[in-house]
Amino acid sequence: MTKATLHDGATIEIEVHGDGPALLLPVDPRPVEGPQADEMRRWGADPALGRSLIDGLRDAFRVVAFDYEKHVLATPKPDTLTPANIAADLLAVADAAGADRFAYYGYSWLALSGLQLAIRTDRLSALVMGGYPPLDGPYAEMLAVTLAAHAMSSAPKTGASVGDQTAAGEPDWSTVEVATTPDQTQQFVTLYEALRGFDDRAAQPAVRCPRLCFAGSADQIVYDERWGGVTVDLGGPLVRRRAELEALGWEVRVLDGLDHMTGMQAAAVLPVIRPWLAAAVQHDLAWNPRRLRPGGNDSAGGPPRPERCGDR
């Protein structure tokens, strides 16, 4: 089992599946089983989502799978989960897998992390953001939600850790109890505090690799006052800013009728990202075939590519 050492000295396990251009995939490669799997299904989640994504991509890519979300929950980083440190962690995973050049797909806050990675490295061959907009991102709203979650995690527990579902399968946030620890929630406060002044429009010129964003047309989460009284709109910016995003170089896909939970499922994701990634990565390799090899470098001859991520 390959392991990467992250910014705080903790290690994370990596599984590599398939052969071809490298693709970093921050998902759990092992299906969840037992009561936890039943609870995930109750909330509309797929206990085998990571495995389904890997199986749908491994014949075309060298999939580097690692469960970063589970890692930060198991090994919280309350003071250090900053955008720069997350980007450093993702690069450490790529290094441990021998991937000098790689594509990246992340969903929700892991999509946000991909954007932060893209503006800090020139090693990305392609970027896919799912369930989080690259323009007009709800950073202030997410800070409000994470501050509320942190306050509740520090308070005495008064009931069950989960709540009811709405008819659409989304959680009813007015009934949810926070089961996470103060350190687990504080690390996300740290992340969104660091992003308080982030201008995603000004950051766009630094993202120069092929890039795709997608979200469900119904991907909007309304939180009551207990959770900050905000609406986190993740699909709306793709609809409202589609022309602007496309002018900035983004491919945009809006998944009709899907919300945040249904928009992350493999049946919705794979038909969108697999053909797009295959074309984007082949374009990258056409300029420098040596990038196909694990551990290859950017020093081979040939003309410069017209699209590269953040020459920094």
Number of domains in the chain: 1
* 223 and 229 Cβ atoms separated by less than 8 Å: yes
- Prediction pTM value: 0.87
**Strongest mean pLDDT among 85-94, 173-182, 297-306:** 85-94
Domain extent for 252: 2-292
pLDDT tens across 261-276, in order? 999 999 999 999 999 9
State the average pLDDT over residues 153-177.
57
- Report CA-CA distances (Å) from 192 to 114, 132, 133, 284: 15, 14, 15, 32
Tokens matching residue 182: 């103060």
Residues 30-50: b if buried by 16+ CB within 10 A, e if exposed: eebeeeeeeeeeeebebbbbb
pLDDT at 176: 61
As a whole number of angstroms, the distance between CA 199 and CA 114 comes to 15
The pLDDT of residue 171 is: 57
pLDDT digits (tens, 9 = 90+) for 78-126: 999 999 999 999 999 999 999 999 999 999 999 999 999 999 999 999 9
Q: Is residue 304 part of a domain?
A: no
Please tell me which residue, 289 or 306, carries the higher pLDDT value: 289
Can you give the pLDDT at residue 166?
A: 47
- Helix, strand, coil shares of the chain as percentages rounded to 5? 40, 15, 40
| Angular region, 229: left φ>0, alpha ψ -120 to 50, beta rest | left
The token pair at 174 is 């007015």
Helix ranges restricted to H, the chain: 35-42, 49-57, 68-74, 83-96, 109-118, 139-153, 182-194, 200-203, 236-240, 242-247, 266-287
Q: Is residue 133 part of a domain?
A: yes
Say which residue, 155 or 151, is predicted with more confidence: 151
pLDDT tens, residue by residue, 205-255: 999 999 999 999 999 999 999 999 999 999 999 999 999 999 999 999 999
Is the pLDDT at 163 greater than 60? The verdict is no
Task: Report CA dihedral (16, 107, 11, 94) to the nearest 10 degrees.
Answer: 50
Residue of 65, 78, 62, 49 whose CA lies nearest to 292? 62
Q: What is the pLDDT of residue 99?
A: 97
Burial of 157 from C-beta contacts in 10 A (0-12 / 13-18 / 19+): exposed
Q: Is residue 302 part of a domain?
A: no
Strand partners, 189: none
pLDDT digits (tens, 9 = 90+) for 7-63: 999 999 999 999 999 999 999 999 887 887 778 777 777 889 999 999 999 999 999
State yes or no: pLDDT of 168 exceeds 70: no
Beta-ladder partners of 124: 102
CB 298 within 8 A of CB 291: yes
Cβ distance 35 to 307 under 8 Å?
no
- Is 177 inside a domain boundary? yes
CATH number at residue 128: 3.40.50.1820
pLDDT, residue 156, reads 73
Closest residue by Cα to residue 217 from 245, 255, 179: 255
Nearest alpha carbon to residue 46 among 68, 31, 67: 31
pLDDT at 139: 98
Strand, helix or coil for residue 16: strand
10-19, 46-55, 137-146, 296-305: lowest mean pLDDT where?
Answer: 296-305
Amino acid at 111: A
Residue range 126-138: mean pLDDT, rounded: 98
pLDDT of residue 224: 93
Coil/strand/helix, residue 251: strand
Rounded average pLDDT over 129-136: 98
